[in-house]
Structure 1
Amino acid sequence: MQMDNQVAPRKVPNFCSIRYIIAILLLLCNVITMSQRVCMSLTMIAMVNSTEPHGLSNTSTKQLQDNIKNPVYNWSTEIQGIMLSSIFYGVLTSQVPAGYLSGIYSLKKLVGSSLFFSSLFTLLIPPAAEFGEVLVILCRVIQGLFQGITLTSQQVVWIKWAPPLEHVRLNSLSLSGLLLGPCIVLLITGFICDFLGWPMVFYIFGAVGCALSLLWFILFYEDPKDHPCISISEKEYIMSTLIQQVSSRTPSLPIKAMLKCLPLWVISLSNFAFFWTNSLLSLYIPMLIDSMFHVGVKENGLLSSLPHLFAWIFAVLAGHMADVLLSRNILSLLAIRKLCTLLGFLLPALFSLCLLYLNYSFYGTMIFLILTNATGSFNMGGILINILDIAPRYYGFLRGFTNVIGLTGGLVASTVTGMILSQDEESPWFKIFFLMIAINVISLIFYLIFAKAEVQDWAKERQTTYL
Structure 2
Amino acid sequence: MQNVVLDTRISDQRTMLDRKEISIKGARCCSFFPLRYMFAVVAFLGMFNLYALRVNLSVAIVAMVNHTSIAGKRNETISSQIGTVCPVPAGSQHKAVSNGEFNWDGPVQGLVLGSFFYGYIFTCFLGGWLAHKFGGKYIFGPSVLVGGILTLLTPLAARTHYGALIAVRALQGLVNGVCFPAMQTLISSWSPATERTKLVGFVFSGMHIGMVLTLAVSGYLANFWGWASIFYLFGVSACIWFVLWIFFVYDTPFVHPYISEDELQLITKDTRKKSNEKVPDFPWRSALTSLPFLAAAVAHFGGTWAFFTLLTNLPTYLNNMLHFDLEANGLLSALPYLTVALCTQASSVISDWLRQKGHLSTTTVRKGSQLLGLVVPSLCLIGVGFTCNSYIAMALLVVGVGLGGMAFAAVSANFIDLSPQYAGILLGISQTPAMLPGIVAPYVVGVITGGPNGQTMENWRTVFYITASIGIFAAIVYCIFGSGEVQSWGQRKASLIPDAVDFKSKPEGVAWVHRRPSRISASNSEDRISVKEI
Please classify the TM superposition score into its range, dividing by the shorter chain length. Answer: 0.7 to 0.9
What's 1:7 paired with? Answer: none
Alpha-carbon deviation of 1:412? 2.9
Rg larger for = 2
Equivalent of 1:147 in 176, 181, 194: 176
What's 1:421 paired with? Answer: 449
Name the CA shift for 1:295/1:170 in 2 (closer, same or farther; >3 Å): same
Cα distance in 2, alignment partners of residues 275 and 106 from structure 1? 26
Cα displacement string for residues 169-223 of structure 1 (whole angstroms, at most 9, x for unaligned residues):
1111111122222211111112112222222221111111011011101000122
Name the CA shift for 1:355/1:390 in 2 (closer, same or farther; >3 Å): same
Equivalent of 1:280 in 309, 330, 338: 309
Matched, 1:206 2:235: yes
Alignment check: 8 A CA contact 2:70 2:103 kept = no
Which residue identity is paired with 2:59? L
Matched, 1:384 2:415: no
Alpha-carbon deviation of 1:362? 3.1
Q: Percent identity?
A: 28
Alpha-carbon deviation of 1:451? 1.2
What's 1:451 paired with? Answer: 482
What's 1:324 paired with? Answer: 353
Alpha-carbon deviation of 1:15? 9.7
Name the CA shift for 1:75/1:413 in 2 (closer, same or farther; >3 Å): closer
Alpha-carbon deviation of 1:299? 1.2
Equivalent of 1:47 in 64, 69, 76: 64
What's 2:435 paired with? Answer: 407
Alignment check: 8 A CA contact 2:420 2:490 kept = yes
Would you say how many aligned residue pairs link Structure 1 and Structure 2?
A: 443
Which shifted more, 215-224 or 13-22?
A: 13-22
Cα distance in 2, alignment partners of residues 106 and 248 from structure 1? 14
* Highest RCO, 1 vs 2 (Cα 8 Å, sep ≥ 6): 2
More helix by share: 1
Name the CA shift for 1:15/1:409 in 2 (closer, same or farther; >3 Å): farther
Which residue identity is paired with 2:116? I
Alpha-carbon deviation of 1:82? 2.3
Equivalent of 1:365 in 374, 380, 393: 393
Tell me, which stretches of 5 or more residues in structure 1 are unaligned?
1-10, 65-71
What's 2:249 paired with? Answer: 220
Alignment check: 8 A CA contact 2:318 2:329 kept = yes
Local SS of the residue matching 1:228: coil
Matched, 1:442 2:473: yes
Cα distance in 1, alignment partners of residues 149 and 95 from structure 2? 30
Tell me, which stretches of 5 or more residues in structure 2 are unaligned?
1-27, 72-93, 496-534
Which shifted more, 418-427 or 407-416?
A: 418-427
Cα distance in 1, alignment partners of residues 104 and 390 from structure 2? 34
Name the CA shift for 1:201/1:288 in 2 (closer, same or farther; >3 Å): closer
Alpha-carbon deviation of 1:28? 1.4
Alpha-carbon deviation of 1:286? 1.9
Cα distance in 1, alignment partners of residues 293 and 314 from structure 2? 31
TM-score by length of 2: 0.77
C-alpha RMSD of matched pairs (Å): 2.7
Matched, 1:266 2:283: no
Equivalent of 1:173 in 191, 202, 213: 202
Cα distance in 1, alignment partners of residues 362 and 494 from structure 2? 19
What's 1:123 paired with? Answer: 152
Which shifted more, 408-417 or 266-275?
A: 408-417
TM-score by length of 1: 0.87
Alpha-carbon deviation of 1:92? 0.9
Local SS of the residue matching 1:135: helix
What's 2:461 paired with? Answer: 430
Which residue identity is paired with 1:438? S
